[in-house]
């Protein structure tokens, strides 16, 4: 048997997701600044523009909610001596697995992928 998804089901899922996003946002802000590793498109862009270190790291200095379309976005500093400021989706960053926030970010990333 299949359950037909209704618009009220979708709204209920969005409401739960919105509450989870707010909780993650508050928890994440308490951890700032936080070291992260670029992944996906961000990593490819950094490599294209000369940051070729295999262990390229960046420092997350701010996080904000850009709404349902873009999700949680992070302001990151890239580079050591004269850092560049970038804004990227939190889904383009990975965090040390031992950090308490890492699992929550991974869960958020999975939810965002399912909504796409």
What are the pLDDT digits (tens) for 44-95? 888 887 765 545 789 999 999 998 889 999 999 988 888 889 999 999 999 9
pLDDT at 11 over 60: no
83-103 as b/e: b if 16+ CB within 10 A: eeebebbbbbbbbeeeeebee
Which residues neighbour 95 within 8 Å (Cβ) at sequence distance 6 or greater?
34, 35, 36, 37, 101, 102, 105
pLDDT at 97 over 90: yes
As beta bridge partners, residue 63 has 74
């Amino acid at each position: 048997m299949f359950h037909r998804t209704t618009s009220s089901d979708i709204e209920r899922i969005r409401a739960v997701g919105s509450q989870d996003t707010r909780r993650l946002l508050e928890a994440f802000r308490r951890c700032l600044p936080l070291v992260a590793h670029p992944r996906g498109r961000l990593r490819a862009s950094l490599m294209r523009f000369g940051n070729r270190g295999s262990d390229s790291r960046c420092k997350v200095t701010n996080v904000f909610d850009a709404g349902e379309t873009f999700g949680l976005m992070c302001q990151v500093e890239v580079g050591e001596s004269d850092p560049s400021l970038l804004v990227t989706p939190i889904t383009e960053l990975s965090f040390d697995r031992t950090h308490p926030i890492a699992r929550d970010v991974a869960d958020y990333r999975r939810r965002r992928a399912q909504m796409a």
